[in-house]
Amino acid sequence: MKLRRREKQFKECPRCGLKCLFNADSCPECGLVFSRLEIATNADAKAKIKRREKEYILRTSTLPTDVSFMKLLLLCIFGGLFGAHSFYVGRYWRGIIPLISTTILIFFVVFNNEMIAIDGTGQTLGMISTLLGFTMMLWPIDIVLILMKKFKVPVAIDLDKNVQADKEKRTGAKTTDNQDNIRQEVLDDVNVLKNENKNDTHKEEKKE
């Protein structure tokens, strides 16, 4: 009971991983304002992943409004061997690993006799199957993480004005001034982080 109470008192910052007080407004380490996560969505994160804009993406165990807990769980239970739940939230590399592993193992089972004939003793085939079996352990691990609400989902805030304008045309809803302010704050934070990274690289180059 004491451990559960302690866990509820703290939350993990999705940017730097620091454990902050549960009622904290921002992270003391990286300065992330937690209220910004309220308008962050998984769809925006997937769009930025495709554009390779990783600096705008955060991973949080608190599911955004556009990700269904039941859909995520069912996809993991029935399609987890093929990485369906990972593709659903945009964690593509985590989905590719079980997809390839399961496909290869099915191929080995279907063409078992032919593969043994090629391999001879079957030792190489057995070693590959064992290694692939270990990677498939991600499936039950992800089920447990989803049930415990600790599965990380990428989220981001839509900063593209053209995309936002299209959303407003489709839905008929306009963004609030508060949301616009949050978007501007996120842009400022990302620019600060970029400048800090550039300064760090310049310092390292000078030292060398």
Mean pLDDT of 21-46: 85
Name the region of 18 (left: φ>0; alpha: ψ -120 to 50; beta: rest): beta
Check residue 88 and give its pLDDT.
97
Q: What is the mean pLDDT of residues 9-13?
A: 81
**In this structure, are residues 6 and 19 in contact, taking their beta carbons and an 8 Å threshold?**
no
Q: What is the 3-state secondary structure (H, E, C) of the chain?
A: CHHHHHHHHEEECCCCCCEEECCCCECCCCCCEHHHHHHCEHHHHHHHHHCCCHHHCEEECCCCCCCCHHHHHHHHHHHHHHCHHHHHHCCHHHHHHHHHHHHHHHHHHHCHHHHHHHHCCCHHHHHHHHHHHHHCCHHHHHHHHHHCCCCCEEEECCCCHHHHHHHHHHHCCCCCHHHHHHHHHHHHHHHHHHHHHHHHHHHHHHHC
Per residue in 164-208, pLDDT tens? 544 555 455 555 566 666 666 666 666 666 666 656 655 555 555
Q: Given pLDDT bands bounded at 50, 70 and 90, which one contains residue 1?
A: very low
pLDDT given for residue 177 in this prediction? 60
- Residue 112 has a pLDDT of 73
What is the per-residue pLDDT across 88-123, written as a single tens digit (0 to 9) for each? 999 999 999 999 999 988 888 787 777 666 666 567
Mean pLDDT over the full length of the chain? 79
Instruction: Please say whether the beta carbons of 157 and 184 come within 8 A.
Output: no
Burial-class residue 129 by CB neighbours within 10 Å (0-12, 13-18, 19+). Answer: middle
Chain-centroid distance, C-alpha 12: 15
pTM: 0.71
Range of weakest confidence among 3-12, 32-41, 168-177: 168-177
Residue 60 Cα distances to 32, 41, 89, 151, 161, angstroms: 13, 11, 12, 8, 24
56-70 mean pLDDT: 92
Does residue 124 surpass a pLDDT of 50?
A: yes
pLDDT bin (cut points 50, 70, 90) of residue 3 is: very low
Quick one: pLDDT at residue 174? 52
Q: How far apart are the first and last CA of the chain?
A: 52
Distance (Å, whole) CA 2 – CA 18: 21
- Cα torsion angle, 1, 143, 43, 195, sign: positive
* pLDDT: which is higher, 154 or 171: 154
